[in-house]
């Protein structure tokens, strides 16, 4: 086979691979449940990846086990052991119009799970257990889009996500909640 023919075959194979991933995402968007979830935003721009918003869905971790395996502990200056944060390996589901998490420490393979973090110790009043952050998802925006940041004091950022059977939720669109009002963002 000539080099030009090999190059064409390689391009066709690469196009098929990318198209299969796009088809999978379109199929999941059409068939999997969708929910709105409040998100925390961080690091809005990495030059190597383009313009995007890094989003951490905020979920309820109150039902997850608060045991030794889940706690990150440290010792303070007085020698007392403190809990600095909690972390769990979880699976996400859509139930009752909400994004919920379930403990997945004993689930194999690990590829369909995410990590959830809760800073501080809810027992000491450091943070509420219903404000845990799920591992981040990226929401890519056009270069010409107006960024919704910084948010005003009374505003919250929300995203609609597709919840696939395995893997992280996939963001579809953004909205801002303010004083009981809801405004989907147009980022075209």
Identify the top-confidence range among 35-49, 123-137, 153-167: 153-167
Q: What is the pLDDT of residue 105?
A: 79
pTM for the whole structure: 0.76
User: In angstroms, rounded to a whole number, what is the distance separating the alpha carbons of residues 171 and 140?
Assistant: 9
Percentage, residues of the chain above pLDDT 90:
13
Bigger pLDDT: 37 vs 126: 37
**Region 46-51: what's the mean pLDDT?**
64
Q: Which residues pair with 60 in a beta bridge?
A: none
Q: Is 60 exposed, middle or buried (0-12, 13-18, 19+ CB in 10 A)?
A: middle
User: The tokens of 173 are what?
Assistant: 């669109």
Q: pLDDT tens for residues 17-36? A: 999 998 988 898 888 899 99
Cis peptide before 135 (omega within 30 of 0): no
Q: Which of 67, 52, 60 is CA-nearest to residue 92?
A: 60
Give me the phi and psi of 131, to 5 degrees please: -125, 40
Alpha-carbon distance 102 to 114, whole Å? Answer: 10
β pairing state of 50-59 and 45-46: antiparallel
Angle, alpha carbons 137-11-20 (nearest 5°) = 40
Distances (CA, A) of 105 to 64, 118, 121, 157, 159: 11, 16, 21, 30, 27
């Amino acid at each position: 086979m000539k080099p030009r023919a090999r190059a064409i075959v390689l391009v066709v194979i690469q196009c098929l691979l990318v198209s299969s991933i796009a088809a999978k995402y379109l199929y999941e968007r059409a068939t999997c449940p969708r929910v709105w979830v409040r998100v925390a935003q961080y690091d809005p721009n990495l030059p190597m990846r383009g313009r995007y918003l890094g989003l951490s869905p905020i979920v309820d971790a109150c039902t997850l086990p608060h045991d030794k395996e889940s706690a990150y502990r440290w010792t303070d200056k007085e020698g007392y052991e403190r809990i600095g944060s909690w972390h769990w390996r979880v699976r996400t589901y859509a139930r009752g119009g909400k994004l919920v998490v379930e403990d997945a420490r004993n689930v194999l393979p690990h590829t369909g799970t995410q990590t959830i973090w809760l800073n501080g110790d809810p027992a000491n009043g450091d943070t509420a257990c219903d404000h845990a952050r799920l591992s981040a998802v990226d929401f890519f925006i056009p270069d010409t889009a107006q960024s919704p940041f910084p948010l005003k004091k009374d505003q919250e950022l929300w995203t609609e996500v597709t919840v696939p059977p395995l893997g992280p939720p996939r963001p579809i669109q953004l909205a801002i909640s303010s004083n009981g009002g809801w405004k989907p963002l147009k980022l075209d």
